[in-house]
A and B are shown apart, each in its own frame.
Chain A
Amino acid sequence: MEILDKLKEDIRGELEGVSLVIGWERGYDSLHTTPLFIRCPEDIDRLIWNPLCVHNLASYLPWFKGRRVGILVKGCDSRTVIQLLQERLIQREEVVIFGIPCQGVVDLAKIRARVDCSQVRGVSFKGDKIAIETPQGQRELPLEEILATKCISCQYPTPLIYDHLAGEAISSHRPPGLLFAEVEKIEKLDPKERFAYWQQELQRCIRCYACRNACPLCVCQDFCAADARDPHWLSQKTGIGEKFMWQILHAIHLAGRCTDCGECERACPMDIPIQRIRKKINKEIKELFGYEAGVNLEVTPPLYTFQVEEPAIKEREW
């Protein structure tokens, strides 16, 4: 059975017992998708599944706390669900998880860089290619070249938690060595160059906080430290210092929690490679505590706990 048919069948079977099921549907054109909230059987027909289903829908789960909801997850999205469960931000009995073994989703920015997407008339998938129909004609691009960066190093294509799985589980064929490739490039620079690099990138930041709003683990909503006047972590100044401060604030609040879903960077209207900042912390957390966020329900996130003797921390002698 096709993945989509299996999903629809499973959703039909569960719909009665949940307030709604969250999936994807076609957006304003055939290149864009948008979240779909399935409340009645007729809504199920609008469901789609293809490499354009980029959104991490688990972002919605904390909003629905107290209600039982269904959610469609890719491998990466399932890590968000696990991390939310680990932090008790959602309850297991309140979610029905429809898992999808995933071969990767696209990065629209990579498509936009190669095709004028202002008037897309149709999109289709042929094997490992995507065909985009525009007034200028049809363009075919190999999927591999336009996959999201996270997909190129994906280690968990099959969801790590689910109640229903749409299709056969698949295992990763991506080299784990690529996981931190961009971070390692920056690490090779000397501190002055690194500062200059971030200054150049972050000066574009308009502090719209789309990165925060898209992050499924930014759950404080109206109580964000970035908006607080007391303590006044961030002022209304527009300088680069505030932009650094904002990025570090977000990254630190995600330390030991970030599941590498990439929503922050995807949401950024200024195309700033901000996920690298989170990834650097993930890398250190992994090295120090052997921890990867959202892969094991039983583990306490490392900054919520401690060991009396920390084998990996080499403290400085004076």
Chain B
Amino acid sequence: MSGMERKELRIVGFLCNWCSYGGADTAGVSRFKQPTDLRIIRVPCSGRVDPLLVVKAFMEGADGVLVSGCHPRDCHYAEGNFYARRRLEVLKRFLPFMGIEPGRFEYTWVSASEGARWQKVVTEFTNQIHRLGPIRRKGDGGGDIR
């Protein structure tokens, strides 16, 4: 689905330089059709993704945040994604407690050769965020978080 058919939402993707960014590139080079809501921020490693970067993105109005790194055992820095997995899992279980709906944050692994997998991840994640809608609408009882 393209931005023409529905209003784009603000989705932030933190992709590691060595695998997932390459995977997204592979998808692009292969001309796989993908939704355009996701803005990619390239980071050296999923282990670089401080959970607070995710929180900050939500606080600044992101509707969804995705972190993607190398598959476990394939980290360019050997163990960055092992640490990331623990931190991000804790974060994923914690965010809903503060009122950020489950599903707005996900983390996953995509290798540089998995263009098709990247297409699937980004499409499914984007659809999931569209089902949830914008994170806060004007007139929501709670008001704007900012």
Contact = CB atoms under 8 A, between A and B. Distances in A.
A16 B82 CA distance: 48
A183 B121 CA distance: 32
A195 B52 contact: no
Contacts of A315: 85, 108
Interface string B93-135: 1101111111000101000000001001100100000000000
B55 to A, nearest CB: 5
B99 A192 contact: yes
Nearest to A225: B52
Chain B interface extent, by class? 35 or more
A43 interface: no
A191 B79 contact: no
Contact of A245 (B56, B72, B100, B108): B56
A303 B141 contact: no
Interface in B65-83: 72-73, 79, 82-83
Interface string B13-36: 000000000000000000000000
B86 A310 contact: yes
Contacts of A316: 106, 108
Nearest to A240: B145
B138 interface: no
A63 to B, nearest CB: 26
A19 interface: no
A194 B52 contact: no
Contact of B97 (A187, A196, A233): A187
- Majority DSSP secondary structure for residues of A touching B: helix
B48 interface: no
B90 A186 contact: no
Chain A interface extent, by class? 35 or more
B82 A308 contact: yes
Contacts of B83: 303, 306
A270 interface: no
A288 B90 contact: yes
A281 interface: yes
A124 interface: no
Interface string A223-257: 00100000001000001110011011101100110
Contacts of A255: 87, 90, 94
A280 interface: yes
A248 B98 contact: yes
Nearest to B93: A284
Interface of B: 51-52, 55-56, 59, 72-73, 79, 82-83, 85-87, 89-91, 93-94, 96-102, 106, 108, 117, 120-121, 124, 140-143, 145-146
Given A280-B97, A284-B94, 12 more contacts: A183-B97, A192-B140, A239-B146, A248-B55, A249-B55, A251-B94, A252-B55, A303-B83, A308-B72, A313-B86, A318-B108, A318-B117
Interface of A: 183, 186-187, 191-192, 194-199, 225, 233, 239-241, 244-245, 247-249, 251-252, 255-256, 277, 280-281, 284-285, 288-289, 302-303, 306-308, 310, 313, 315-316, 318
